[in-house]
Amino acid sequence: MTLQTERLTLRRLRACDDDALVALLRDERVGETYMVPPLATDEAAKKLALRLRALSEGDAHFVRGICLCDTLIGMINDTERTQDTVEIGYALLPPYWGRGYATEALTAVIAAMHDAGFREVIAGAFEHHAASLRVMQKCGMTPSDRRATVEYRGVLHRCIYYSSKKSI
């Protein structure tokens, strides 16, 4: 499934995206809030990029590149699924932060996930990541009772979750 928004195309990952995907996965600022394992080399990042591309080609997971004029600027993916609930994660390359692209992409994915039959779409962020929390709010998501403390890169982080529930 390819999703089209006013400015973006959310599509399956392609080989031509590998360099941008490696840059995304290795960017220190992205890695502060998007939970990706530490990737010490471009080769390690390329290996993960190939795995993500393979996942995007199938239907068992939702993994899509966020593209502006067919240039990969980020990715959005499911991180956890049950029969009626899906959790979404997203990341953009820093030059594209603050322009509404994450909000535009997440809004489209929330609608697509509800159309696909998921009753609830969840997204979370570290409590200090105000920009991501604002993205979820702008997408119409509401605070969830769900909270978690996770260890990531040697630091404990409190995670705040937001939810979008499909009206029945």
The predicted structure's pLDDT at residue 20? 96
Q: 164 in helix, strand or coil?
A: strand
Amino acid code (one letter) for 152: Y
**143-168 pLDDT, tens per residue?**
999 999 999 988 999 999 999 998 76
Q: What's the confidence (pLDDT) of residue 140?
A: 95
Structural domains in the chain (count): 1
pLDDT at position 168, please? 61
CATH label of the domain that carries residue 149 = 3.40.630.30
As a whole number of Å, the end-to-end CA separation of the chain is 24
Q: Which amino acid is located at 52 in the chain?
A: L
Which residues have C-beta within 8 Å of that of residue 7, sequence separation ≥ 6?
68, 101, 104
Q: What is the pTM of this model?
A: 0.94
pLDDT tens-digit readout, 78-126: 999 998 999 999 999 999 999 999 999 999 999 999 999 999 999 999 9
- The percent of residues in the chain predicted with pLDDT above 70, rounded, is 99
Range of the domain at 50: 3-165
Across the strands, what pairs with 122? Answer: 87, 163
Q: Quick one: pLDDT at residue 39? A: 85
Q: What integer pLDDT is reported at residue 43 of this predicted model?
A: 93
Percent over 90 (pLDDT), the chain: 86
- Decide if 86 contacts 113 (C-beta within 8 A): yes
Instruction: Provide the CA 82 distance to its chain's centre, in angstroms.
Output: 17
* Residues 76, 89 contacting (CB under 8 angstroms): yes
* Radius of gyration over every alpha carbon of the chain, rounded to an integer in angstroms: 15
